[in-house]
Amino acid sequence: MHTATIDEIIRRRRTIKPAQYSDRPIENATIQAILESGNWAPTHGMTEPWRFHVFTGSARAQLSEFMAKTYQEITAADTFKQTKLEKLRNNPLLAPCTIVVCMQRQVSGKIPELEEIEAVACAVQNMHLAATAHGLGAFWSTSTVVYHDAMKQFLKLGPEDRCLGLFFLGYPKIEWPTSSRGDVAEKTVWHHT
Ligand SMILES: Cc1cc2nc3c(=O)[nH]c(=O)nc-3n(C[C@H](O)[C@H](O)[C@H](O)COP(=O)(O)O)c2cc1C
């Protein structure tokens, strides 16, 4: 096993937003490979609760229009921001591919909902790492719109299902960004005998 490679990919994974993507299209095979990585996330009870809605090509306009229209409909005047509206409208058009990430609730409800959401978050991380390995930037974006019931109707989700965000993908036109993290020792308590 190549631990050096996985460590490098984990550290290299970056949030890169659609305004920073080039026009270079993403091959369907690459999107498929990223979805396959998502599909290998851990899952309590093997429920595999992740569901993906992939928007590419002209379908991106439907997502863009929905995001903008819904934001206008659900946002009170005192919290409404024009810049937010423009981002919600533009991001799905600027990204060659957007994967809308959802959690499908188990019918029996036996597995706690929190764990189903955690499994989907693991799927997103898998996809983000795979995207990094393919040289793709990605951005997990949440908003009032994605959590609104209108999103469930748009995607025809069940009442107990959840949309957990938009996952934008694109080849960066900028230099690959760097980041940093605080010391893990400050977030860790070792319990010795
Ligand atoms: C569940 C989740 C939701 C996120 N939603 C947003 C978002 O709506 N807007 C945003 O700018 N970043 C969002 N992010 C990305 C973080 O801003 C990003 O991970 C952080 O800045 C660290 O940068 P890095 O991903 O490049 O390490 C989200 C991250 C997670 C885990």
Q: Please name the residue whose Cα sits nearest to atom 22 of ligand 1.
A: 15
Ligand 1 in reach of 179 Cβ (< 6 A): yes
Q: What is the pLDDT of residue 45?
A: 98
Print the SS3 string covering the chain: CCHHHHHHHHHHCCECCHHHECCCCCCHHHHHHHHHHHHCCCCHHHCCCEEEEEEEHHHHHHHHHHHHHHHHHHCCCCCCCHHHHHHHHHHHHHCCEEEEEEECCCCCCCCCHHHHHHHHHHHHHHHHHHHHHCCCEEEEECCCCCCCHHHHHHHCCCCCCEEEEEEEEECECCCCCCCCCCCHHHHCCCCCC
For the chain, what are the domain ranges?
A: 13-56+95-174
Give the C-alpha separation, 93 to 115, whole Å. 32
Which long-range contacts link 53-57 to residues 24+ away (Cβ below 8 Å)? 53/99, 53/100, 53/102, 53/155, 54/97, 54/98, 54/99, 54/100, 55/92, 55/97, 55/98, 55/99, 55/100, 56/26, 56/28, 56/31, 56/96, 56/97, 56/98
The residue whose CA has the least distance to atom 25 of ligand 1 is 15
CATH superfamily, region 13-56+95-174 = NADH Oxidase (3.40.109.10)
Q: 15 C-alpha to center of ligand 1: Å?
A: 7
CA of 97 to the centre of ligand 1 (A): 18
Q: Is the pLDDT of residue 161 over 80?
A: yes
| 144 within ligand 1 shell (Cβ under 6 A) | no
Could you read off the pLDDT of 17-30 as tens digits, one per residue? 999 999 999 999 99
What is d(CA 115, CA 18) in angstroms, rounded to the nearest whole number? 30
Nearest alpha carbon to residue 128 among 3, 22, 10 = 10
How far does the centroid of ligand 1 lie from the alpha carbon of residue 142, in Å?
8
pLDDT of residue 3: 80
- The minimum-distance atom of ligand 1 relative to the CA of 16 is 26
Averaged pLDDT for residues 51-56: 99
| pLDDT-derived band at 74, boundaries 50, 70, 90 | very high
Q: Which atom, in ligand 1's list, is nearest to the CA of 142?
A: 8
> Does residue 43 have its Cβ closer than 6 Å to ligand 1?
no
pLDDT at 4 over 80: no
Predicted confidence at residue 1, as pLDDT, reads 78
Is there an atom of ligand 1 within 6 Å of 15 CB?
yes
- Single pTM value for the model: 0.97
Q: Of the residues 10, 11, 15, which should be mutated to test ligand 1's pocket, given the most ligand atoms within 8 Å of the CB?
A: 15
- The reply to whether ligand 1 has any atom less than 6 angstroms from the CB of 37 is no
Ligand 1 atom closest to Cα of 164? 1
